[in-house]
Amino acid sequence: MNDYLSRDSLLRLIGVLLLVMAPHAGHLPAWEILLIVTAMMWRTLIALRQWRLPALLPRTALTLAGFGGVYASYHGISGLSAGTALLCAMASLKLLEMRARRDVMIVVLLMYFILVTHFLFSQDLWTIAYLLVCAVAITALLMDCNHPGSAVPARPLLRRATIMVAQSLPLMLAMFILFPRIPGPLWGLPSDTGAQRSGLSDSMMPGDIEKLILSDAVAFRVHFDGPAPPQDQRYWRGPVFDRFDGRKWSPRIETRHLPPEAAELTGEPVDYDLTLEPTQQRWIFALDLPAPAGLPAATALHGAEQLLADKPVSGRVLYHLRSYPHYRLQPTLTPFQRRMMLQLPANADPRSRALAAQWRAQQADDAQIVQQALRMFRSEPFYYTLHPPRLGDNSIDEFLFETRRGFCEHYASSFTFLMRAAGIPARVVTGYQGGEKNPYGDYYVIHQYDAHAWSEVWLAGRGWVRVDPTAAVAPNRVEEGLASALSAADGLPTFLQRQSQIWLTLSARWDWINNRWNRWVLAYGPELQADFLSHFGITDWSQMILALTVAITLLLSAVGLSLLRQFAPAKTHDAALRLWQSATRPLQKLGLKQKPDEGPQDFAARVVARQPALTTAMRQLLQAYLRLRYLHGPDPAAWQNLRAAAQQFTRALRANAQGAAAGSGSRTRDSR
């Protein structure tokens, strides 16, 4: 046993540290997980087998190796992922140099810091529950490590720690509701090179979107204020690409450097709340077409009507948006813009160019050429599949005339190429399409497998018009969703295949719970806070600060009073004993107080010895008390005798005090 920590407490410390770090296993590189486990196992063996702690040289080598590994893995040590990885590595290596209580306290306090870092990666409901359990475990460990001698039994430690954490919850709730909120999540760290990106990319080439189909992760959730648009009209606009190099589509100029295009919005708008999952990207996938007025804070419309956040979305964010399904986008196209939207790589895909030239020779109307291309996809043997063949240098020719098997990006890319080759300005739009309604809530869930690509063509008098060539090949994809357009034989992911009703019900219920958590807790920003507090007459920051101060003061006062009650003398429930204590309490002024281990007879004898004038009254009080408590029980006559004896004893005390005062005055006069 160490003089600063018992072996059992040390093993508990290692176990709690492992519990706290466990959720980070999916974020840390494999080498660091091996390092952490090795450090914990090494320290465990040191405790069990009484080995010596490693010397300074190996500890220094491990520390430098951990620091260098984090720097090499994340190209730095700053940012969300790199900083968390470094904190976890150093906390585990600290186990190998714990030689005093100060080192133990450092490791315990580091656990609280590591606990907070979990919110940087997830704010789901299960994360909150898990971290509350961890907070109880760390608090119990903190009490155990401050207890001298052997380890304290686990049950009372955990019970006390649970009470302490529960006592902090009201204060936490008051701070959450009343503390002034700022736009965006507090955990959104800038320039986090280690954070993983999810969802769509800033370019598109064959195979990119079909990879997203293998993920059932939630992209965003949408709650419509009114009736939801039909499935085939729910196109969620994302990155727009206007440059083609023969295989890859990408933006010619970065989107945020372009102004929005002129749009004429008609018809009734659609209002909705969109809860976007973290992507580390700027795109906000608004329903086609977002309105420029009334956009959420820290967002703006940019080129090709793409809605972007000012900073990458690093946490779950709720946006209130308005879109117009009926619009006319950029009715006028400048000559320069027209040239840009017609550019194609030189000498690429000659057969596709020839087909487009043939259509142009047969039709002068651009709209007719669009229909001609859609008829080709609809009538000829094209197939919608998750596993298209690989394409070579002339990817458009190979797809249109040889393989004819592809996913939505193949059809959007080839259609856009044909339109440009026919002299019609065109571009590729990526985003999501459709969405699944939760049967237990009034909202829709859009998953990563709803990722989609389509085209926009510019037609005179109509501006940019959405055309989805995938709908010509697989109309079920747009009208009913991905699962209806693919079969299990085509390699449909397991989560899209037919599942048991019990599993579907549980999944929908859990998602509904998470959605409520997202809307009312994680999305509790400045607007929602102001709306909520306005119901209580709190309308500005000064009133908010005053309410916060009053609430915290009341809560802390309540906690203080509850703590003070622990030191208050215990109240007796024996009426006879209470009367005895009340009658004898004035004796304390004379220096006579009944000791906890002193019986009433012994106490009475001591009183008589010190104050002979109280002998008669003291004996009467003692006899009445003993008769009532030990002989008669709850007898009315005995009660009356005890009360009378108590009153007589009180009068005797007063008389004794007056006599003592008179004697003192007489002695004073005699001395004069």
Residues belonging to the active site: 408, 452, 468
C-alpha–C-alpha distance, residues 417 and 399, integer Å:
12
- Asked if residue 289 has a cis previous peptide bond (ω within 30° of 0), the answer is yes
Report helix angle 80-94 to 7-21, nearest 10. Answer: 170
C-alpha distances (whole Å) from 35 to each of 28, 70, 89, 193, 278 are 11, 12, 8, 22, 29
Q: How many CB atoms lie within 10 A of CB 328?
A: 16
Q: What's CA 237's distance to the chain center, in Å?
A: 26
DSSP-based three-state secondary structure for 50: coil
Q: Number of C-alpha atoms within 13 angstroms, CB side, residue 23? A: 21
Tokens 């003061």 sit at which residue? 553
CA distances from 271 to 274, 289, 373, 544 (A): 10, 12, 34, 30
Centre a 10 Å sphere on the Cβ of residue 559 and count the other Cβ atoms it contains.
Answer: 14
- d(C-alpha 342, C-alpha 327), whole Å: 23
Task: Please give the structure tokens belonging to residue 166.
Answer: 């529960």
The residues facing 433 across adjacent strands are: 235
CA dihedral 641, 643, 644, 646 (to 10 degrees): 120
Which of 520, 541, 522, 543 lies closest to 532, judged by CA? 520
**Residue 501, Cβ density class (10 Å: 0-12 exposed, 13-18 middle, ≥19 buried):** exposed
Asked if 473 contacts 383 with a C-beta cutoff of 8 angstroms, the reply is yes
For tokens 């940012």, name the residue. 79
SS3 state at 612? helix
List CB contacts of 7: < 8 A, sequence separation 6 or more.
1, 47, 48
